[in-house]
Amino acid sequence: MSKDPFQILADELTLIRKDMDQLQRTSLNKDEAKTLNQAVMGAVLRMAKATEDAPGEIQEALEADRDQMARSATQAATKAAESAIAGIRHDLDNERAKLSQAAGEARREAWRWFGGFWVWLASMLATGALLGALAMAWIGGTIAARDFGDYPGVFCGSAGGQVVEQNDGSSYCAVWIKMPAQ
């Protein structure tokens, strides 16, 4: 059965009316549209701001990463150096122990080879005699200088001086005399 054109037009108008009703129920009113527009504009502005700030934030992130890498590299180098120093210190301690042991063995062998106790005793006596002679020379020089100060007339000649008599009857000891040229 075919429809006449008037019926087809009426059906189309009915469909258009239904679509319009549905659109009116789902569309925004003026206040809702303003609110939606403000939300969309705010989002667009935030996106624009984020794109403007992105190079600075990226730069800051890169600087932070660079600083962290520098700290990590420094820490790694410090740990490697400490490890190397610990190894060297261990080797030096081993060598020191070996040298100490060798020196002890050499000292014991020298003790046996050169007579042990008697050589030690003779060297101590020789050292004591030398120290005693030095002490006596030092003390003896002090006593002679003091005695010369107390009795210059007695010790003047032995000290290398000459007694000079004066016209008033006094005398003195001249140690340094400059003679006239002849």
The dihedral of CA 108, 109, 110, 115: what is its sign? positive
Percent of the chain's residues with pLDDT above 90: 6
Q: Is the pLDDT of residue 21 over 80?
A: no
**56-111 pLDDT, tens digit each:** 777 777 778 777 887 887 888 888 888 888 888 888 888 899 989 989 888 888 76
Residue in this structure with the two tokens 């000459």, named with its chain if needed: 162
Q: Is the pLDDT of residue 25 over 70?
A: no
The pTM score is 0.29
End-to-end CA distance of the chain: 176
For residues 156 and 149, the answer to whether their CB atoms sit within 8 Å is no
Query: Tokens in use for 99?
Result: 């040298």
**Angle, alpha carbons 162-163-168 (nearest 5°):** 150
Cα torsion through 121, 126, 129, 130, rounded to 10 = -140
